[in-house]
Amino acid sequence: MSRVMVIDDEKDVVYLIKVLMEREQFEVLEAYNGLEAYNRLTSTAPGKIIPDVIILDIMMPEMDGYTFQSKLQELDDLRHIPIIILTAKGQMKDLFELSSNIFAFVEKPFEPKNLVKIVKDALTPKT
Protein backbone atom coordinates (compact mmCIF):
# COMPACT_ATOMS: atom_id res chain seq x y z
CA MET A 1 0.00 0.00 0.00
CA SER A 2 1.40 3.38 -1.00
CA ARG A 3 1.79 6.06 1.66
CA VAL A 4 0.94 9.72 1.16
CA MET A 5 1.96 12.38 3.68
CA VAL A 6 -0.26 15.47 3.71
CA ILE A 7 1.30 18.59 5.25
CA ASP A 8 -1.05 21.55 5.58
CA ASP A 9 -2.03 23.83 8.47
CA GLU A 10 -5.68 23.85 7.36
CA LYS A 11 -7.34 20.89 9.06
CA ASP A 12 -10.21 20.88 6.53
CA VAL A 13 -7.77 20.55 3.64
CA VAL A 14 -5.91 17.70 5.36
CA TYR A 15 -9.20 15.93 6.05
CA LEU A 16 -10.43 16.33 2.45
CA ILE A 17 -7.18 15.01 1.00
CA LYS A 18 -7.12 12.15 3.53
CA VAL A 19 -10.62 11.06 2.44
CA LEU A 20 -9.64 11.32 -1.25
CA MET A 21 -6.45 9.29 -0.79
CA GLU A 22 -8.01 6.62 1.44
CA ARG A 23 -10.72 6.13 -1.19
CA GLU A 24 -7.85 5.18 -3.53
CA GLN A 25 -6.49 2.72 -0.93
CA PHE A 26 -3.52 4.90 0.08
CA GLU A 27 -2.28 5.06 3.65
CA VAL A 28 -2.30 8.71 4.79
CA LEU A 29 0.12 10.35 7.21
CA GLU A 30 -0.94 13.77 8.48
CA ALA A 31 1.10 16.76 9.65
CA TYR A 32 -0.11 20.28 10.31
CA ASN A 33 3.12 22.18 9.67
CA GLY A 34 6.56 21.61 8.21
CA LEU A 35 8.28 21.22 11.57
CA GLU A 36 5.90 18.48 12.71
CA ALA A 37 6.40 16.63 9.42
CA TYR A 38 10.18 17.06 9.48
CA ASN A 39 10.40 15.78 13.06
CA ARG A 40 8.31 12.72 12.18
CA LEU A 41 10.40 11.94 9.09
CA THR A 42 13.73 12.36 10.88
CA SER A 43 12.73 10.64 14.10
CA THR A 44 14.88 7.74 15.24
CA ALA A 45 11.89 6.03 16.85
CA PRO A 46 11.31 2.41 15.85
CA GLY A 47 8.52 1.88 13.35
CA LYS A 48 9.07 5.22 11.62
CA ILE A 49 7.01 5.37 8.42
CA ILE A 50 8.40 7.04 5.30
CA PRO A 51 5.86 8.23 2.71
CA ASP A 52 6.04 7.42 -0.99
CA VAL A 53 4.82 10.90 -1.92
CA ILE A 54 4.29 14.17 -0.02
CA ILE A 55 1.55 16.75 -0.60
CA LEU A 56 2.96 19.98 0.79
CA ASP A 57 1.39 23.36 1.54
CA ILE A 58 3.68 26.41 1.37
CA MET A 59 2.33 28.96 3.83
CA MET A 60 2.34 27.34 7.30
CA PRO A 61 3.37 28.33 10.83
CA GLU A 62 6.46 26.90 12.58
CA MET A 63 8.16 25.79 9.34
CA ASP A 64 6.89 26.73 5.89
CA GLY A 65 6.82 24.37 2.94
CA TYR A 66 9.84 25.89 1.25
CA THR A 67 12.03 25.43 4.35
CA PHE A 68 10.71 21.89 4.85
CA GLN A 69 11.48 20.95 1.25
CA SER A 70 14.96 22.50 1.47
CA LYS A 71 15.75 20.53 4.64
CA LEU A 72 14.51 17.32 3.02
CA GLN A 73 16.96 17.87 0.15
CA GLU A 74 19.84 17.66 2.66
CA LEU A 75 18.91 14.11 3.72
CA ASP A 76 20.04 11.26 1.48
CA ASP A 77 17.32 8.85 2.58
CA LEU A 78 14.47 11.38 2.07
CA ARG A 79 15.48 13.58 -0.86
CA HIS A 80 14.06 11.13 -3.43
CA ILE A 81 10.44 11.45 -2.19
CA PRO A 82 8.35 13.22 -4.85
CA ILE A 83 6.65 16.36 -3.54
CA ILE A 84 3.42 17.86 -4.82
CA ILE A 85 3.25 21.53 -3.89
CA LEU A 86 -0.25 22.60 -2.88
CA THR A 87 -0.58 26.34 -2.64
CA ALA A 88 -2.86 29.31 -3.08
CA LYS A 89 0.15 31.31 -4.23
CA GLY A 90 0.96 30.59 -7.88
CA GLN A 91 4.00 32.88 -7.86
CA MET A 92 5.81 30.61 -5.36
CA LYS A 93 6.81 28.24 -8.16
CA ASP A 94 10.00 30.25 -8.78
CA LEU A 95 11.39 29.27 -5.38
CA PHE A 96 11.30 25.59 -6.27
CA GLU A 97 12.64 25.77 -9.83
CA LEU A 98 15.96 24.07 -9.07
CA SER A 99 14.53 21.38 -6.79
CA SER A 100 14.74 17.92 -8.26
CA ASN A 101 12.12 16.34 -6.00
CA ILE A 102 9.22 18.65 -6.91
CA PHE A 103 6.81 16.56 -8.97
CA ALA A 104 3.98 19.05 -9.54
CA PHE A 105 2.29 22.27 -8.44
CA VAL A 106 -1.41 22.29 -7.59
CA GLU A 107 -3.20 25.54 -6.78
CA LYS A 108 -5.95 25.80 -4.18
CA PRO A 109 -8.81 25.39 -4.63
CA PHE A 110 -7.92 22.14 -6.39
CA GLU A 111 -9.96 19.67 -8.41
CA PRO A 112 -10.05 16.43 -6.33
CA LYS A 113 -9.84 14.08 -9.34
CA ASN A 114 -6.88 16.00 -10.69
CA LEU A 115 -5.02 15.76 -7.37
CA VAL A 116 -5.64 12.01 -7.22
CA LYS A 117 -4.29 11.62 -10.78
CA ILE A 118 -1.17 13.65 -9.95
CA VAL A 119 -0.50 11.54 -6.84
CA LYS A 120 -0.88 8.33 -8.87
CA ASP A 121 1.46 9.73 -11.54
CA ALA A 122 4.03 10.59 -8.83
CA LEU A 123 3.87 7.00 -7.59
CA THR A 124 4.40 5.52 -11.04
CA PRO A 125 8.06 4.59 -11.54
CA LYS A 126 9.79 6.40 -14.39
CA THR A 127 10.94 4.12 -17.19
Along the chain (127 residues), what's the average pLDDT of each consecutive run of 10 residues? Answer: 96 97 97 96 88 95 93 92 84 63 89 96 82
| Residues 68/90, Cβ–Cβ less than 8 Å | no
pLDDT of 94 reads 62
pLDDT of 9 reads 96
The Cα 74–Cα 125 span in angstroms is 23
The Cα 76–Cα 19 span in angstroms is 31
pLDDT of 100 reads 73
pLDDT of 127 reads 55
Per CATH, the number for 3-123 is: 3.40.50.2300
